[in-house]
């Protein structure tokens, strides 16, 4: 459903501020820089504001690419079987060419994350695999942090109904809007300054982690006794970061994490998810996996196990890790007590790991490293990058140095080292 401004049950001034933050803080959009934006039709009120803010910031050309929930569902209900092994590679090649020419990238999320929950899981999996493969030329520019990019959220009506099924539609959308506004730190009249303060706190945290030069992290908690080696010459990051094009941006609005690249060959032991994972329209709950030699060798889930095992089987790198992130249990998103069914938010409620592709920028001098050099240092490669949460108030984390000494990093889900 496409809503006009007059139909929206929340403060439009806050939506204006969110658009300003997405462009100025999220993208750090530069004078004369082009911008490619993807968004669902349900997010048009926000997209229009983002485009206006981008042009006010001096954008060269803003190109929106729209999707629509009903059109997406029509494919699953009407298309022939062979449709699900196809993807618009021509479109992604064009996006890659735009990024190569200096364009920035923004993705707006707003649709019901469970849109495909009732569709054939085999078709969903095949379409996802085909799309991931076709998207590689564009994704490489994002994962390699060649460009300034950002993901931001809008409170779509169907997403709101999913999160708050017991509320009337308007009330649900208003409640989701306020949750997004709070998590995105736009509640005061100078959200850009608020983000500068928040980025400073994240920088202090990742600076301390980089000074420690940990060789591995050890997690203990209910169902978890897990040691994760860190890649050679890894670099912790979080919040504002400088892309290879020299632009400082915040890839995720909101964000509470500091993160780096693990060694794809050094993960050992059992780890249990602490929150559900929403993936391709399916909810996966009760995830428990055992790693050996960096690879998942046992996997189970109390719900959605078949979908989870299909994810692991995507390719060789899908059974290994490409990211590890630390988030305090007291983060605003965790404190809200909400499950968003959307990784942009849910990953910022908890420490997490990600199966699949690593970020080359999480290496010292990562911009100068070839794919082969990244692999030699332990970086992972895959068609996927899927985060799931492993932190809680019951999880402790120790940093292990090369000499075997240990430093408390988190106790009871909170930072153990005061800055």
Confidence of residue 196 (pLDDT cuts 50, 70, 90): very high
Q: Is the pLDDT of residue 404 over 80?
A: yes
The β-bridge relationship of strands 277-279 and 262-272 is unpaired
**pLDDT number for residue 138:** 95
pLDDT, one tens digit per residue, over 109-122 is 999 999 998 999 88
- For residue 92, the tally of other CB atoms under 10 A from its CB is 18
Q: Note the Cα 111 to chain centre separation in Å.
A: 16
Confidence of residue 418 (pLDDT cuts 50, 70, 90): confident
Confidence of residue 32 (pLDDT cuts 50, 70, 90): very high
pLDDT, one tens digit per residue, over 210-234 is 999 999 999 999 999 999 999 999 9
In angstroms, the first-to-last Cα distance of the chain is 47
| Domain made up of 5-183: CATH architecture | 3-Layer(aba) Sandwich (3.40)
Q: Reduced to 3 states, what is the DSSP secondary structure of residue 67?
A: strand
Q: CB–CB of 238/255 below 8 Å?
A: yes
- For residue 19, the tally of other CB atoms under 10 A from its CB is 26
**pLDDT number for residue 143:** 84
Confidence of residue 192 (pLDDT cuts 50, 70, 90): very high
Domain positions in the chain: 5-183, 213-415
**pLDDT number for residue 366:** 85
Cα 381 from Cα 264, distance rounded (Å): 9
Considering only residues 128 and 409, tell me which one the structure prediction assigns the higher pLDDT.
Answer: 409
Task: Give me the residues paired with residue 225 across strands.
Answer: 220, 270
Q: Model-level pTM?
A: 0.90
Q: Produce one character per residue of 191-227: b if its CB has 16 or more CB atoms within 10 Å, e if not.
A: beebbeebbeebbebbebbbeeebbbbbbebebbebb
110 by Cβ neighbours in 10 Å (0-12 / 13-18 / 19+) ranks as buried
Range name among 67-81, 129-143, 207-221 with the lowest pLDDT average: 129-143
């Amino acid at each position: 459903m496409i809503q006009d401004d007059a139909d929206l049950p929340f403060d439009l001034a806050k939506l204006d501020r969110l658009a300003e933050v997405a462009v100025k803080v999220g993208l750090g959009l530069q004078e004369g820089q082009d911008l490619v934006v993807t968004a669902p039709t349900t997010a048009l009120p926000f997209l229009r504001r983002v485009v206006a803010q981008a042009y006010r910031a001096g954008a060269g050309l803003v190109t929106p690419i729209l999707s629509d929930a009903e059109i997406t569902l029509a494919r699953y209900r009407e298309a022939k079987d062979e449709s699900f092994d196809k993807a618009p590679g021509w479109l992604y090649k064009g996006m890659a060419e735009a990024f190569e020419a200096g364009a920035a990238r923004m993705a707006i999320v707003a649709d019901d994350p469970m849109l495909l929950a009732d569709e054939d899981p085999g078709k969903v999996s095949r379409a996802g695999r085909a799309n991931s493969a076709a998207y590689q030329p564009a994704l490489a520019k994002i994962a390699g942090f060649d460009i300034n990019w950002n993901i931001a959220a809008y409170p779509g009506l169907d997403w709101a109904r999913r999160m708050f099924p017991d509320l009337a539609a308007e009330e649900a959308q208003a409640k989701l809007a306020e949750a997004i506004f709070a998590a995105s730190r736009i509640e005061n009249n100078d959200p850009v300054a608020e983000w500068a303060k928040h980025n400073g706190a994240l920088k202090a945290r990742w600076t301390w982690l980089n000074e420690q030069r940990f060789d591995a992290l050890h997690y203990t908690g209910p169902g978890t006794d897990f040691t994760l080696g860190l890649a050679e010459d890894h670099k912790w990051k979080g919040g504002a970061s400088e892309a290879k094009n020299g632009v400082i941006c915040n890839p995720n609005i909101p964000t509470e994490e500091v993160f780096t690249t693990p060694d794809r060959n050094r993960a050992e032991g059992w780890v249990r998810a602490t929150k559900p994972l929403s993936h391709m329209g399916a909810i996966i709950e009760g995830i428990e996996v055992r790693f050996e030699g960096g690879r998942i060798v046992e996997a189970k889930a109390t719900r959605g196990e078949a979908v989870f095992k299909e994810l692991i089987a995507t390719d060789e790198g899908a059974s290994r890790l490409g990211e590890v992130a630390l988030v305090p249990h007291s983060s605003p998103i965790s404190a809200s007590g909400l499950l968003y069914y959307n990784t942009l938010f849910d990953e910022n409620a908890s420490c997490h790991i990600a199966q699949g592709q690593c970020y080359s920028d999480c290496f010292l001098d990562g911009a100068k490293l070839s794919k082969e050099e990244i692999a030699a240092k332990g970086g992972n490669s895959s068609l996927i990058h899927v985060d799931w949460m492993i932190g809680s108030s019951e999880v402790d984390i120790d940093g292990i140095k090369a000499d075997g000494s240990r430093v408390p990093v988190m106790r009871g889900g909170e930072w153990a080292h005061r800055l």
